[in-house]
Amino acid sequence: MLILLCAGESGAQATSTSPRHFIFFGGDRQRIADSAFVANPNIAGAQLKYTWRELEPQRDRYDFSKIAEDIAALARHDKRLWIQLQDVSFAAGVRVVPDYLLDDPAFGGGVANQYEDDSARTRFVGQMARRWDPAVLARFTRLLDTLGRAFDGKIEGVNFAESAFSLSDIDSLRPPGFTADAYAQGIRAMMTSGRAAFRRSRVVVYGNFMPGEWLPGDDRGYLRGIYAYADSIGVGVGGPDLLPFRKGQRNHSLRLIAARGVNTVAALAVQDGNLAELNPATGARVTVEDLVRYATDTLRLDYIFWGTEEPYYSKAILPWLTRSSSRQSRPPRRSPASRRADRSP
């Protein structure tokens, strides 16, 4: 049994109602036709990943045909689409932003490389759009505005890729123009644009870690500021991993999710490796039941996005969702901004 309360969490805010369950299929769009997925009434929908590059193949030419197809396919089974808008890659050779951002010098190269340093070497681990660059942010805002005009209210929600940005300690490998302050401002600008574009659908920032600080010892207010800003404008909060035993997650996203405002939506993903974690108190592997209990009672989550890593998806996640299908998931918490939007003409 998992019993864990992060320091600073309030038991008075706990709730016994359940989050809504989505399956994260990533880019495997064809899997939204899987019989085990479509037949389960306890699965509210699918979280699918769309890269900026595929949604804007050329400057100001948008292609949302995949999104429209996925909305229609899911609706036939009374399920909803959740969009993960991807401007980050985690492997070499994977491009996630349009070519014009890479080719036009006005965008400073469009992306920045991510690196991990260890005692032996520095490894390239992917790329991220230059979120702190006003020119790049202006183009991202235009993408969000165009998406919102097409799909606001037609999708359950949209989330940005994680806020963590892996920087090398080697000065020559750090991106030009980057500062931790500018990056935090850029994340807030993305949140503002997302909220303006989507007034009825949920908007969630995956705020897990921020460059330039490490909580709790080196707290510059970057991540705390993201969560406070989310509370103030009606943006939801969350992250890419539900890892209740990891000290890093407990000191960063999990602590702040548990302490969020009562009207702020929260969502977490159960991704590869999450169900392989061991409970240090018992030595036993964490179970689906453990994670749901923690997500419900401690974090008060509104949404859980379940990954499809095997054997956990087939042997643990789907059976639990099937056993739980007789329970009715609660309606998601509505933000003040979305309530105001529904009253707008």
Q: Delineate the domains of the chain, giving CATH numbers in brackets.
A: 13-340 (3.20.20.80)
What b/e sequence results for 245-268 when a residue is b if at least 16 CB atoms lie within 10 Å of its CB, and e otherwise? beeebbbbbbbbbbebeeebbbbb
Q: State pLDDT tens for residues 6-19.
A: 434 333 333 347 89
> 320 pLDDT band (50/70/90 cuts)?
very high
Residues contacting 215, CB < 8 A, separation 6+? 223, 251, 252, 255
**Average pLDDT value over all residues in the chain:** 91
**Token match 């992250």: residue?**
239
d(CA 232, CA 56): 30
Contact (CB, 8 A) for 332 and 303: yes
**Lowest-confidence segment of 229-233, 277-281, 290-294, 327-331 by average pLDDT:** 327-331
* For range 169-197, the mean pLDDT: 96
Residues contacting 174, CB < 8 A, separation 6+? 167, 168
3-state secondary structure 246-294: CHHHHHHHHHHHHCCCCCCCEEEEECCCHHHCECCCCCCECCHHHHHHH
Q: State pLDDT tens for residues 126-165.
A: 999 999 999 999 999 999 999 999 999 999 999 999 999 9
- DSSP, collapsed to helix, strand or coil, labels residue 195 as helix
d(CA 156, CA 299): 20
d(CA 154, CA 336): 19
Q: Choose among 215, 213, 207: nearest CA to 239.
A: 207
Contact (CB, 8 A) for 128 and 111: yes
334 vs 68, higher pLDDT: 68
4 vs 9, 15, 237, 255, 299, CA distance in Å?
A: 10, 15, 20, 12, 11
Q: State pLDDT tens for residues 27-47.
A: 999 999 999 999 999 999 999
Q: Return the percentage of the chain with pLDDT > 70, whole number.
A: 89
Residues contacting 230, CB < 8 A, separation 6+? 191, 205, 207, 236, 237, 260, 264
Which tokens sit at 55? 């949604």
